[in-house]
Amino acid sequence: MTLAPPDHPLRLLHLEDSELDHELTLAHLRRGGLDVQALRVDCEAEYLRALEQPWDLIVSDYNLPGFSGLVALDLLKAYGRDIPFVLVSGEIGEDTAVEAMRNGASDYLLKNNLARLVPALLHAIEASETRRARERADLELGESKQRLHELAQHLQTSVEMERAAIAREIHDDVGGSLTALKFDLAWIARHSDTPDVLARVNNALETVTLAIEASQRIMHNLRPAILEQGLVAALQWMAARFEKRTGVVCILRTPQARHPLMQHLPAGVPLVAYRTAQEALTNVTKHAQASRVEIDLALAGRVLSLEVSDNGCGLGQDDLAKARSFGIRGLHERARTVSGWVDLSSGPGGTTLILSVPLPESDEAEAAQAAEADDEPITGPDDEDPTHWGEP
Ligand SMILES: Nc1ncnc2c1ncn2[C@@H]1O[C@H](COP(=O)(O)OP(=O)(O)OP(=O)(O)O)[C@@H](O)[C@H]1O
Ligand SMILES: [Mg+2]
């Protein structure tokens, strides 16, 4: 491959004690079609001063009085400058050449083979530009990924806030009006003795009752009020409802609900765990063809984990890459909002999804734990297991 010379004069820093060799090098470069602006330096002080300026390339003699090409290379690295560096020597041993390349030299040449000089320099410049472009692209990609994560997390949080606000409005406005309506209809029913009116009012009462139930259901889906009774209670309710609705056996194991750490879960964690279990169970219904699901909520050290495993058909990498599937992707982002993470494993025996959330040190939880320890043991006399598995 022929490399094109740069479209501007090549800024060359030449570390060379012999003026004659310097001239010879320049002659080779010009003969090779390169327009060069060169500065020759031959000692460490001058070299360091020169490093302040912008250079396209450094060519260095290997042996200099009181200085050496390898030291110059180390200084360049220490200085944090990314400039292609080519070592030239009257005689360079293989070991030295290998060491120089390992230390970041772009290339090395023998002085008696300066015919290779121009292609070697052009190649060094191009390799350095390619590397820099790749580093820039990696950096931009990393920043863009980070922004995407932040956006996804922000969306998760704002969706939850929006849901909570809608649930509140349904509760206050719709729920309040329906209850008032039901109250008035009941009053009319009590004070009317016309059979037609009574029949109509009772119909209306039924409709209002259904509307109240529907609004409660919608409110619950928007914002699970059951979470106010704690994560354990909410999961128990979810598991029971899932089993009843789908016929799939659902076993739930949880730590003791009154465990101090469970009572002082950081804000956001119960909802993240709840939504994770909800999505995992929805996936079991939609995809797994399972007959049994186990949900394990556990505390190990200061890490809360929620494991949902089914005995279904399992999933593959292709399933996770589906363009229009956002459930599991959303769970990863949700977990990040509370500094947690999600692991997914699958095989012929089924699928397991685990949410892990490290719980921060909290004075409140520590104090509660200490008080609890003074008060009564977390495990009762009949229950030696500190995690006291709850009812399925
Ligand atoms: N428990 C499971 N058993 C078998 N396959 C599963 C299970 N969970 C997920 N999958 C597979 O992984 C895919 C991705 O799941 P994911 O929850 O991300 O998306 P989805 O359920 O298809 O859509 P949604 O965005 O509504 O959640 C599913 O389409 C399904 O093929
Ligand atoms: Mg899903």
The secondary structure of 200-266 as a DSSP string is HHHHHHHHHHHHHHHHHHHHHHHS-GGGGG-HHHHHHHHHHHHHHHH--EEEEE---TT-HHHHTPP
The per-residue pLDDT for 385 is: 29
Atom number of ligand 1 nearest to Cα 286: 21
275 alpha carbon – ligand 2 mean position (Å):
11
Q: pTM of the predicted model, to two decimals? A: 0.69
Domain boundary among the residues 191, 206, 222 is at 222
User: Which residues have a beta carbon within 5 Å of ligand 2, which is an ion?
Assistant: 283, 327
Instruction: Find the residues whose C-beta lies inside 6 A of ligand 1.
Output: 283-284, 286-288, 310, 312-315, 319-320, 322, 325-329, 351
Percentage helix, strand, coil for the chain under 3-state DSSP, each rounded to 5: 55, 15, 25
SS3 309: strand
306 alpha carbon – ligand 1 mean position (Å):
18
Asked which of 45-54, 61-70, 94-103, 306-315 is least confident by mean pLDDT, the reply is 94-103
Q: How confident is the model at residue 148 (pLDDT cuts 50, 70, 90)?
A: very high
Residue 125 shares a structural domain with residue 159 = no
Tokens 């015919």 locate to 115
Q: How confident is the model at residue 191 (pLDDT cuts 50, 70, 90)?
A: very high
328 alpha carbon – ligand 2 mean position (Å):
6
Rounded distance between C-alpha atoms, residue 384 and residue 359, angstroms: 24
pLDDT 10s digits, 162-178: 998 999 999 898 999 99
Mean pLDDT along residues 119-143: 92
The per-residue pLDDT for 271 is: 93
302 alpha carbon – ligand 2 mean position (Å):
29
Amino acid at 319: D
- Is there a contact between 275 and 308 (Cβ–Cβ < 8 Å)? no
State both tokens at 217. Answer: 């259901």
- Is there a contact between 122 and 84 (Cβ–Cβ < 8 Å)? no
Amino acid at 303: V
246 alpha carbon – ligand 1 mean position (Å):
17
In a domain, 261, yes or no: yes
Amino acid at 323: A
Number of domains in the chain: 3
Closest residue by CA, ligand 1 atom 29:
319
CATH of the domain at 327: 3.30.565.10
Residue 282 shares a structural domain with residue 369 = yes
Range with top average pLDDT, 106-110, 112-116, 326-330: 326-330
pLDDT 10s digits, 366-375: 555 555 444 4
- Is there a contact between 306 and 234 (Cβ–Cβ < 8 Å)? no
Closest residue by CA, ligand 1 atom 9:
283
Q: How confident is the model at residue 384 (pLDDT cuts 50, 70, 90)?
A: very low
In a domain, 383, yes or no: no
**Angstrom distances, CA of residue 59 to CA of 23, 39, 86, 89:** 13, 10, 5, 10
Domain boundary among the residues 222, 253, 283 is at 222
